[in-house]
């Protein structure tokens, strides 16, 4: 187990964009996770070869991307070399896990260095279920501090950089997972989403990122105890079939009886959908460039026979303030309860300005919190009504293109960070409040060659609708490949 805190940038230029990736002629090749399962079953590769290749890829790109938190390489090699298979569809496929997931033997530092690391005694609920699919854990990936920022740029641990161009952010909070999957280190990595933290790195890194319905996948204890369950676990992948296969396999391990099953979604549906499109976020209109890219996705959907209608944003203006206050309350609980939760070494002076600013904002407004939570809990009524007329809502994942590292500098003034953050991520928080599923797909590209995500949302329990549509869009407009620049 080793901490990997400091990056050293090594850039290889492809055209006018600096791509950093690890794809090559090794056991992993350029296969996705389902492709690796097929290769394992055919005897073309072994679990040990896959783990060795993935570790070599981590070591090749991490000095630039700074995406690894802690490694479990020795344990992964031991598991890969075991004579007895561990079982599960993905048995032998290497993966990485977001740092805030509780994993036996590894620290759960949640993107900060504000206390002394200590190994967790046992897997949490999500890690147990994720491991049961057969995936082999190589270690944990970096994230923004407590997941509050949409860019991981820690003042001492450094920034997680985008493999499409290391001058840009990899998004957050599941930034390390997004960077490593995009760079070809592993085909699938865990992520979770409390305000966009699966979908934002998916959009920044050109990946598939599905935030599932509330309760679809298990949560660790501390997340289950939140007053409003805005967080959902999931994964980041390079292909729709990997995401669909993961949810199929997780459903065999953990089944929520309150939700309809997703089942085995293997391709497009023949059903033509009623799709609403909106380019107005809770804070602003999408930038002109992102607006035009969204209209290109609309044109594609219409070419495929779907009915698309432009609508105004149905969310009231107060949603932004309510959601921000709830985020602040989470920071308040973490900061004020830091020594009790993280141990006597907790030092609030080591927290970044965003965490401390959110805590201070919440402290000033605690009297408003019960009303804010109550209103957020009722937000699902808005999308339920929308769902009576439309099957899917299309928006851009983010209101603007991916910014450079430094745009969301956590050492800047709190208000500057918050103003920039809200202006960029105004589309994603809605589904965290409603509990609805939403998927970001890399259907567009900015003028400077960076991926741009488009987000499709449905009502709670209808992930299968999104996956069927995602398969169709992937076939109609295959996403750019970082290794083919």
What is the distance, to the nearest Å, from the Cα of residue 463 to the centroid of all Cα atoms in its chain?
16
Q: Which domains does the chain have, with CATH numbers?
A: 12-484 (3.90.1300.10)
Please determine, for residue 28, whether its predicted confidence score (pLDDT) is greater than 80: yes
Is the per-residue pLDDT at 293 higher than 90?
Answer: yes
Give the per-residue pLDDT at 83. 74
409-440, pLDDT tens digit by residue? 999 999 999 999 999 999 999 999 999 999 99
The contacts of residue 9 (CB under 8 Å, 6+ apart) are: 63, 64, 161, 166
Give the pLDDT mean for 157-175.
97
Beta-strand relationship, 12-14 and 188-193: unpaired
Q: Is the pLDDT of residue 380 over 60?
A: yes
- Mean predicted confidence (pLDDT) in 377-394: 97
What is the pTM (predicted TM-score) of this model?
0.96
Say what the pLDDT of residue 485 is: 61
Question: CA–CA separation, 337 vs 73, rounded Å?
Answer: 33
Q: Residue range 366-377: average pLDDT?
A: 97
pLDDT band of residue 86 (cuts 50, 70, 90) is confident
Banded model confidence at residue 6, pLDDT cuts 50, 70, 90: very low
Q: What is the 3-state secondary structure (H, E, C) of the chain?
A: CCECCCCCCCCEEECCEEECCCCCCCCCCCCCHHHHHHHHHCCCCCHHHHHHHHHHHHHHHHHHHCCEEEECHHHHHHHHCCCCCCCCCCCCCEEEEECCCCCECCECCCCCCCCCCCEECCCCHHHHHHHHCCCEEEEEECCCHHHCCCCCEECCCEECEECCEEEEECCCCCHHHHHHHHCCCCCEEEEEECCCCCHHHHHHHCCEEEECCCCCCCCCHHHHCCCCCCCEEEEEECCHHHHHHHHHHHHHHCCCCCCCCCCCCCCCCCCCCEEEECCECCCCECCHHHHHHHHHHHHHHHHCCCEEEECCCCCCCHHHHHHHHHHHHHHHHHHHCHHHHHCCCCCHHHCCHHHHHHHHHHHHCHHHHHHHHHHHHCCHHHHHHHHCCCCEEEEECCCCCCCECCCCCCCCCHHHHHHHHHHHCCCCHHHHHHCCCEEEEEEEECCCCCEEEEEEECCCCCHHHHHHHHHHHHHHCCCCCHHHC
| Predicted confidence (pLDDT) per residue in 454-480, tens digit | 999 999 999 999 999 999 999 999 999
pLDDT band at residue 484 using 50, 70 and 90 as cut-offs: confident
Angle, CA of 155, 160 and 161, to the nearest 5°: 125
- Token digits for 31? 């296969």
Identify the pLDDT of residue 367: 98
- Give the pLDDT confidence score for residue 82 in this predicted structure: 86
Q: What percent of the chain has pLDDT over 90?
A: 93
Read off the pLDDT of each residue in 28-49 and give the average, rounded to a whole number.
Answer: 97
pLDDT at 404 over 90: yes
Q: Is 213 exposed, middle or buried (0-12, 13-18, 19+ CB in 10 A)?
A: buried
Q: What is the mean pLDDT of the chain?
A: 95
Assess contact for 146 and 127: CB atoms under 8 A: no
Q: Using 50, 70 and 90 to split pLDDT, how confident is the model at 381?
A: very high
Give the model confidence (pLDDT) of 136-147 as tens digits. 999 999 999 999
Contacts of 165 (CB under 8 A, 6+ apart): 17, 18, 19, 448, 449, 450
pLDDT classification of 52: cutoffs 50, 70, 90: very high
Q: pLDDT tens digits for 295-342?
A: 999 999 999 999 999 999 999 999 999 999 999 999 999 999 999 999
List pLDDT tens digits, range 234-276: 999 999 999 999 999 999 999 999 999 999 999 999 999 999 9
Arithmetic mean of pLDDT, 113-139: 97
- Residue 18 pLDDT greater than 90, yes or no: no
Q: Could you list the active site residues? A: 98, 173, 197
């Amino acid at each position: 187990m080793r901490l990997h805190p400091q990056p050293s940038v090594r850039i290889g230029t492809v055209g006018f964009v600096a791509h950093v990736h690890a794809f090559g002629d090794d056991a992993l090749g350029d296969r996705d996770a389902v492709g690796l399962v097929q290769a394992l079953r055919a005897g073309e590769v072994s679990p040990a070869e896959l783990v060795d290749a993935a570790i070599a890829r981590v070591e090749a790109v991490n000095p630039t991307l700074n995406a690894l938190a802690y490694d479990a390489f020795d344990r992964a090699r031991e598991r890969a070399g075991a004579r007895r298979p561990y079982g599960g569809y993905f048995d032998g496929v290497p993966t990485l896990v977001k740092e805030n997931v509780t994993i036996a033997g590894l620290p759960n530092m949640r993107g900060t260095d504000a206390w002394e690391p200590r190994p967790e005694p046992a897997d949490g609920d999500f890690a147990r279920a994720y491991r049961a699919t057969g995936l082999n854990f190589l270690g944990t990936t970096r994230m923004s501090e407590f997941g509050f920022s949409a860019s991981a740029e820690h003042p001492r641990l450094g920034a997680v950089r985008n493999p499409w161009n290391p001058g840009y952010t990899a998004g957050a909070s599941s930034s390390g997972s997004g960077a490593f999957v995009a760079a070809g280190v592993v085909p699938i990595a865990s992520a979770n989403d409390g305000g966009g933290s699966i979908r934002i790195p998916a959009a920044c890194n050109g990946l598939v990122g599905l935030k599932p319905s509330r309760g679809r996948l298990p949560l660790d204890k501390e997340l289950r105890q939140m007053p409003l369950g805005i967080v959902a676990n999931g994964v980041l992948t390079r292909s729709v079939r990997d995401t669909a296969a993961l949810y199929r396999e997780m459903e065999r391990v953990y089944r929520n009886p309150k939700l309809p099953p997703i089942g085995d979604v293997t391709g497009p549906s023949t059903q033509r959908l009623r799709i609403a499109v909106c380019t107005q976020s809770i804070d602003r209109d999408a930038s002109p460039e992102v607006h035009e890219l969204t209209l290109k996705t609309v044109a594609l959907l219409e070419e495929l026979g779907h009915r698309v209608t432009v609508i105004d944003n149905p969310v009231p203006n107060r949603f932004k303030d309510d959601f921000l206050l709830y985020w602040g309350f989470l920071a308040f609980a973490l900061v004020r309860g830091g020594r009790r939760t993280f141990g006597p070494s907790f030092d609030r002076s080591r927290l970044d300005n965003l965490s401390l600013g959110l805590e201070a904002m919440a402290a000033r407004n605690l009297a408003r919190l019960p009303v804010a939570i109550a209103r957020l809990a009722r937000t699902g009524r808005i999308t339920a009504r929308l769902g009576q007329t439309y099957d899917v809502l299309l928006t851009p994942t983010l209101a603007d293109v991916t910014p450079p590292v430094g745009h969301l500098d956590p050492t800047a003034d709190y208000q500057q960070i918050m103003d920039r953050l809200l202006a960029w991520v105004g589309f994603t928080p809605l589904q965290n409040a409603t509990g609805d599923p939403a998927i970001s797909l890399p259907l567009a590209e900015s003028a400077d060659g960076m991926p741009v995500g488009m987000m499709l949302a449905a009502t709670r329990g209808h992930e299968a609708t999104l996956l069927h549509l995602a398969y169709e869009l992937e076939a109609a407009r295959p996403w750019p490949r970082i290794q083919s620049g």
